[in-house]
Amino acid sequence: MPKYTVLDKDTIKNEIMPYLSVAKRGYICQGSLIDVVNAILHKLKSGCQWHLLPVGHLFEDVVLSWNAVYHHFRKWCRLGEWQTMFAFIVKKYKHLLDMSVTHIDGSHTPAVKGGESVEYQGRKKRKTTNSIYISDRQGLPLAMSEPQKGNHSDLYQIKERVGELIIQLKNSGLETDGLFNNADAGFDAMAFRSALNVHGIIANVCPNPRNAEPKEDYLFDEELYKERFVIERTNAWMDSFRSILTRFDTTVSSWKGWNYLAFAVVFLNKIHKSQKFK
């Protein structure tokens, strides 16, 4: 009997499977696709190598090989279905979000095997991949920017990166006009504020004393900024998934797939937990 330790069987069936493509002709998977997703979630959480997946314990009835699990994961990555799935989940539960304040943060993830969008990062002293993440006031993840080479800072092409986040928010049915956004001193730049302002978002950025740009009378609410710890807590939640704590995937599509799947797990667990105690 398989164990569903990351997400239970009903959650996989009702919240994830409706948004993943299933073969209609040609080769039809002989095993349960719910068990396939469960095996992928095991890999997400444990970070084990694909060939070490304990498929005998993860499948009920027909046991598939690790190669079959990998095949399905890559197929759904190439089609962008993990991102689509997460957008639909956010849209479904958007009434439970707290969008009175959002939080943005950047992350440099060590990339052990190199690959797409990977470059040496001096501060980390290793090759990394950089992305920007946004969460709601509760710290629930909402979107991530397109991964960039690690030799770039969080402000690299920030207008494009913010635009990517906004598109994802709107695809999830979320409006941005009038939002407040907390960001740390690394985002203290006119380019970042302007990028948010285009979409009606009010930036609350911690002033950077080392910033060489001319000082302006920008809004900075210290009490509101204290809430920024929630996105650091979100980062800690994400770090509990070993497959994204360190990047071993060489393709951007796989890397994004792991991130959106982790977003979905965090989001669903927190949402279902809050509903349970209401």
Which pLDDT score is estimated for 94? Answer: 96
Q: For residues 237 and 16, is the Cβ–Cβ distance under 8 A?
A: no
- Note whether 103 and 241 are same-domain residues: yes
CA distance linking residue 40 with residue 55, whole number of Å? 10
* 50 and 121 part of one domain: no
Q: How much is the pTM? A: 0.93
CA 244-246-248 angle, to 5 degrees, is 90
Residue 58 lies in a domain: yes
pLDDT score recorded for residue 31:
80
166, containing H or E segment: helix 158-171
- DSSP state at residue 201: P
Q: What is the pLDDT of residue 30?
A: 77
Whether residues 234 and 146 share a domain: the answer is yes
pLDDT in tens, 129-148: 999 999 999 999 999 999 99
The residue ranges of the chain whose pLDDT is under 70 are: 1-4, 23-28, 212-216, 274-278
Within this chain, do residues 116 and 213 fall inside the same structural domain, yes or no? yes
Task: Please report the pLDDT score of residue 233 as a whole number.
Answer: 94
In a domain, 258, yes or no: no
Residues 6+ away with beta carbon under 8 Å from 22: 29, 33
> What is the extent of the structural domain holding 215?
98-249
Count of structural domains within the chain: 2
Flag whether 27 is in a domain: yes
Q: Which of 51, 79, 107 is the last residue of a domain?
A: 79
